Amino acid sequence: MTPEETRARLLYRDGLMLVLDKPAGVAVHRGPKGGSSLEDDFAALRFGLPRNPALAHRLDRETAGCLILGRHHKALETLGLLFKQGKIGKTYWAIVAGAPEGEEGAIDLPLGRLDDKRGWWMKVDPNGQKALTLWQVKGRGIWRGAPIAWLELKPQTGRTHQLRVHCAALGWPILGDATYGTRAELPLQLLARKVVVPLAKSKPPIEVEAPAPPHMLETLRECGYSEASRSA
């Protein structure tokens, strides 16, 4: 991405934070092996401040949608505390393979590392950290001859790969997830759809939504999504 393309993906801006519409397939920061990342263009997001903004949290390389940046040190401290206290609301959209039973529920399965050689790969582990995800079916359909479902996911905890592992554990992995499901001929169908950030006690929380990305439109439409339902 170019600095101009990064700036064009800005969804929200104030004196404390920015919210970017992160594209799928782009790492948010440079990994141990190097390579390009979203951080490379953060200088284009200063908007008059002396230093670059910085990541307030992370999204997987394959995940699209709302990414929060703090514009300075004090803002990062505030946002970090809100994340730690679980006060920032996060809503995801996912297209999963299969047909979940029922229309909504909660996945309460603790997670731990798969093993020391798998880096960030995770597994359901009775001795792991508590992980809770609320889910609701927004639509169902058929894609390439098999059932799929459009889910709204609300993680109540922030574990690594939580949504991907939880969905796979219930028998409906997220489409395009080669790590926890079966590789499909499309990118990971996971969108960080919305964030709700209570930055000021005297003002309503800031709500920011990311649009449905192009690589998810086909499967979303198969499940009943349309432009008329984009704010649903």
The catalytic site residues sit at: 60
Q: What is the DSSP letter of 216?
A: H
Residue 3: helix, strand or coil by DSSP?
helix
Burial grade of 189 (CB within 10 A; 0-12, 13-18, 19 or more): buried
- E strand or H helix that includes residue 18: strand 17-22
Q: What is the DSSP letter of 45?
A: G
- E strand or H helix that includes residue 155: strand 146-155
What is the rounded CA–CA span in Å between residue 201 and residue 9? 28
- The amino acid at 120: W
